[in-house]
Structure 1
Amino acid sequence: MLVTITYTGPAATDLGYLLHKHPGKVQAFDTSVGTAHVFYPEKEAARCTVAMLLEIDALALARNKHLRGGSGADSLDNYVNDRPYASSSMTAVALGQLFRTAMTGRCDSRPELAASAIPLEIALTAVPVKGGSGLAQRLFEPLGWNVAEESIPLDPQDPGWGASDYVNLQLRGTVRLAAALRQIYVLLPVMDDSKHYWVGDDEVAKLLRAGEGWLNDHPERELITRRYLAHQRDMVDAATEAFPVNHDAAVPSDGDAEAPIVPLHRLRADAVMAALKEVGAHSVADLGCGEGALIKRLLGDSAFEEIIGTDVSARALANAAQRLRLDEVSERHRDRVRLLHSSVTYLDDRLRGLDAAVLMEVVEHLDPERLPALEQSVFGYSRPQTVVVTTPNVEYNVLYPRLGAGQRRHPDHRFEWTRHEFQAWASSVGATHGYDVDFRTVGDVDPEAGSPTQLALFRRG
């Protein structure tokens, strides 16, 4: 995949300062998705072009379970896909990792240039566009870009086959470089309506950061938000709630005003935090911590003196460390946290003797035959004083209008339990390992379907 950015103007090679990549060097960088080569095919006084060429090993990609976008291990999608060849979410991730500082707009050497709108030409090759002709224009033109879209035929030798879903895009406009990079970072996966990785709760924060200054007023904001967040209703609601209020809109009278809707992921974290405070936990392990959303909440409360996050994904742990800014916080805060590469099915000595362990939306990602291993590891071997487990209530799924019959809330869920099934499992685990169990609801409770999330609080007898 190839992306080029051209700046035309006086001292055009200052583009290297803005990107923090030297125009006189050809450099290769290892990213989480492959090897990215950065070079300058053009570096004249009045015109400078930087290119990013992303190389992806198709075989390594097929074998990497963390880059499957939620597909099952045996899914044909893991082996037959366009990810090594198309400019989609992998390209966006590589751009974000290579030009992270440029995306913030920071440039100590050329601060005035970084803060200014400059004439740019951006070329994106082999971009998958799902949504019909004109989607790229609808997304980029409101942001000040002139868009040229070249359809790629299915077979150049036989025009009768028609056009493919891939296009080459040329963007021209006078835009701040930081804004341009953030727009491409968001809109590449939006055009493809797909991501190569599992979409977690932290995606909302990513979207809000990258969309700052341009997304709130975009006429396609709803479509962008929905696609970027993989159509996950809770996350879409959370992002929509977080957008700045349009003060030009009509303000309802006091009698018509409604309380703000709190997204489910926040209610879930609130319920877990309340349970941990209730039992007086001071040392807590977040098992299957992902990118650290709950750990960030725990760090904000000084009552939690020892915090451990574990995950089977080394990449998720690296992202968690970055998200928590462990390299920037004080030594006192850093000493409270440990991120460990581990699994909920491992017998791990490092997790013994804790006040509490949390399995927040984790059990449903395991194959059912692996649950006994989890039970032995957490309740039989580590044996914390308290265990908090949350999981979706499948009975509530009928209240999600976009969720088809029999469809689970996430493609990586191996199962989803009814209330009776969850309570039967938790009661059996508690009886086997000496825990008393208390069941709670999380979220709005429907008279028939119950609550969207169910919580079990295990306390060791």
Structure 2
Amino acid sequence: MLLTITTTHQPATDLGYLLHKNPARLQTLDIAYGQAHVFYPEATAERCTAALLLDIDPIGLVRNHRGPAGEGFALEQYVNDRPYVASSFLSTALAKAFNTALNGTCKDRPNLPELLLPLETTVAALPAASAEQLHRLFAPLGYAIATEAHPLDPTRPEWGNSRYFTLRLHHPALRLRDLLSHLYVLIPVLDRGDKHYWINREEAEKLLRRGADWLPRHPEREFITRRYLRFAEFVNPTLERLLAVDAEASDNDELRAELLTEPERASAAEPAVDTQQPATPSQNLHDLRLDRVAEEIRRLGAKRVLDLGCGEGKLLRRLLKNPAVEHVLGLDVSWRELERARQRLHLAEMAPRQRDRLTLTQGSLLYHDPRLAGYDAAAVVEVIEHLDESRLAAFEQVVFARARPGAVLVTTPNADYNQRYDSLAAGEFRHSDHRFEWTRAQFAAWATGVAQQHGYRVRLEPLGPEYAEVGAPSQLAVFEL
């Protein structure tokens, strides 16, 4: 197994300080299943490359019971790719050889670990289902990616390619410890579930620690977590913690991005259109959505209300202030978010009569849930864009066909408006977890289709300051039976 890391930062030999390995000599580390060698194929002021070569003893793997069981194929213990293909063995060796760099410390140059470096890395060979899988894992982290597929047999081109690739990554400005943490986590993810060591709770904590800066917002976080930890008893609690971190960061990011004062900084020559719910300069879009939905529920006279995707309970708090609402059910897929809602609503301290008005429960909007039946209204605030478009049909069946509340209020961002956010590049979504963002026309087409199919009537309205060409930052559909 071979891993190389190259930088053209000058002086490039700073890489030696970061890795805590002298470019002038070969260094060898003994490991339980072989040896790891660190050396520098090139080390000049202009360009420096560090290499980690892992030499695994295949017989030692069997002798120490670290190889495959071999029950289905007697020779599998001796004839397999484990000594040669990047896997959890390489990840462990990387942590041992470059532990100082992975932890972001440098005794001789304490400021160096924070430096953003141009970095290139090559891993050969790496197992993957496809080149696209490698792109899905590494592209969200900012890498330019090149892959080279290896044929099953170079002398038999008709046999096609194997499942092994040489992976080359390039990042123009990245801390070395971030690169190492990405490799440390993602190389075992590409393994075939044959981790060479026992997976336990400590592994979950290790994943959270090594992925703290990037995993919560990675679009493939669920795939990564499941492949890294394998067992549901560790996967599910870890995903909950990752979702909680992402949700907290997302609230802050989205509120900053959507402050209603931002459009006011645009050209004053563009006239704004009056809205039904004008915002004060200090009011943000998230609060405006919640206030508008709560007011509409009040207008509808709903007594039993669903808050689907209730999160930490901001809408629940508003609904409980409405004396006409007799009962509210808050549902969320995240147990951690429900715990936050309990804390922020001070559920344990509520008077019994007030407490009886509220139910918090965990559940998914993609599966039929009989608990959702019999309600006057349902609020779905900034939720649908977090679902894959291919799964919206399941959501529609759960809410409109099976639960069938008297009214359904759905809000979602207006993609037409995104051009007004200077921080968003063309085609970029407001939130890393959004699976789509609809224009006004797309939202109207979806809402009209849902209403016709399920016997509702629907009206649409903008949320936030409305501009002639792009509309308002958010949009609301009110479905009524």
Question: How far is 1:78 from its partner?
Answer: 2.8
CA distance in 1: counterparts of 2:69 and 2:200, whole angstroms: 11
Gap change, CA 1:115 and 1:37, over 3 Å in 2: same
Question: How far is 1:114 from its partner?
Answer: 0.8
In structure 2, the partner of 1:138 is 136
Read off the aligned partner of 1:19 and give its amino acid letter: L
Q: Say whether the 8 Å CA contact 1:193–1:228 is kept in structure 2.
A: no
Q: Say whether the 8 Å CA contact 1:87–1:127 is kept in structure 2.
A: yes
C-alpha RMSD of the superposition: 2.2
In structure 2, the partner of 1:162 is 160
In structure 2, the partner of 1:95 is 94
Gap change, CA 1:245 and 1:123, over 3 Å in 2: closer
CA distance in 1: counterparts of 2:246 and 2:41, whole angstroms: 44
* Superposition pairs of residues 101-180 of structure 1, within 5 angstroms: 101-129=100-128, 131-173=129-171, 174-180=173-179
Q: Say whether the 8 Å CA contact 1:106–1:114 is kept in structure 2.
A: yes
In structure 2, the partner of 1:256 is 330
Read off the aligned partner of 2:9 and give its amino acid letter: G
CA distance in 1: counterparts of 2:190 and 2:88, whole angstroms: 10
Q: TM-score, normalised by structure 2?
A: 0.51
Q: Say whether the 8 Å CA contact 2:182–2:211 is kept in structure 1.
A: yes
Q: Say whether the 8 Å CA contact 2:217–2:246 is kept in structure 1.
A: no
**Structure 1 SS opposite 2:212:** coil
CA-to-aligned-CA distance 1:220-264 (integer Å, 9 cap, x gap) = 00000000012x1111112112221413366344441679759xx
Question: How far is 1:201 from its partner?
Answer: 2.2
CA distance in 2: counterparts of 1:116 and 1:235, whole angstroms: 34
Read off the aligned partner of 1:164 and give its amino acid letter: S
Question: How far is 1:109 from its partner?
Answer: 2.1
In structure 2, the partner of 1:220 is 220
CA-to-aligned-CA distance 1:407-439 (integer Å, 9 cap, x gap) = xxxxxxxxxxxxxxxxxxxxxxxxxxxxxxxxx
**Structure 2 SS opposite 1:246:** helix
Question: How far is 1:211 from its partner?
Answer: 0.5
Q: Say whether the 8 Å CA contact 1:17–1:107 is kept in structure 2.
A: yes
* Superposition pairs of residues 257-406 of structure 1, within 5 angstroms: 261=335
CA distance in 1: counterparts of 2:164 and 2:83, whole angstroms: 14
CA-to-aligned-CA distance 1:85-141 (integer Å, 9 cap, x gap) = 111111111101111121111113223321122100101001111x33311111001
Gap change, CA 1:32 and 1:258, over 3 Å in 2: same
Confirm or deny that 1:48 pairs with 2:48: yes
Read off the aligned partner of 2:45 and give its amino acid letter: A
Gap change, CA 1:237 and 1:22, over 3 Å in 2: same
Read off the aligned partner of 1:246 and give its amino acid letter: A
CA distance in 2: counterparts of 1:68 and 1:134, whole angstroms: 29
Gap change, CA 1:71 and 1:198, over 3 Å in 2: farther
Gap change, CA 1:23 and 1:237, over 3 Å in 2: same
Question: How far is 1:70 from its partner?
Answer: 7.2
Gap change, CA 1:68 and 1:261, over 3 Å in 2: farther
In structure 1, the partner of 2:190 is 191
Number of residue pairs matched by the alignment? 259
Q: Say whether the 8 Å CA contact 1:33–1:94 is kept in structure 2.
A: no
Gap change, CA 1:19 and 1:260, over 3 Å in 2: same
CA distance in 2: counterparts of 1:183 and 1:27, whole angstroms: 24
Gap change, CA 1:42 and 1:198, over 3 Å in 2: same
Gap change, CA 1:197 and 1:216, over 3 Å in 2: same
Confirm or deny that 1:59 pairs with 2:59: yes
CA distance in 1: counterparts of 2:93 and 2:177, whole angstroms: 15
Q: Say whether the 8 Å CA contact 2:150–2:162 is kept in structure 1.
A: yes
CA distance in 2: counterparts of 1:93 and 1:81, whole angstroms: 19
Q: TM-score, normalised by structure 1?
A: 0.53
Larger Rg: 2
Q: Say whether the 8 Å CA contact 1:144–1:175 is kept in structure 2.
A: no
Listed as ranges, the gaps of 5+ residues in structure 1 are 263-461
In structure 1, the partner of 2:207 is 207
Question: How far is 1:184 from its partner?
Answer: 0.4
Confirm or deny that 1:83 pairs with 2:82: yes
CA-to-aligned-CA distance 1:64-96 (integer Å, 9 cap, x gap) = 11x236777996543332111111111111101
CA distance in 2: counterparts of 1:163 and 1:242, whole angstroms: 39
Read off the aligned partner of 1:20 and give its amino acid letter: H
**Structure 2 SS opposite 1:256:** strand
Question: How far is 1:198 from its partner?
Answer: 2.5
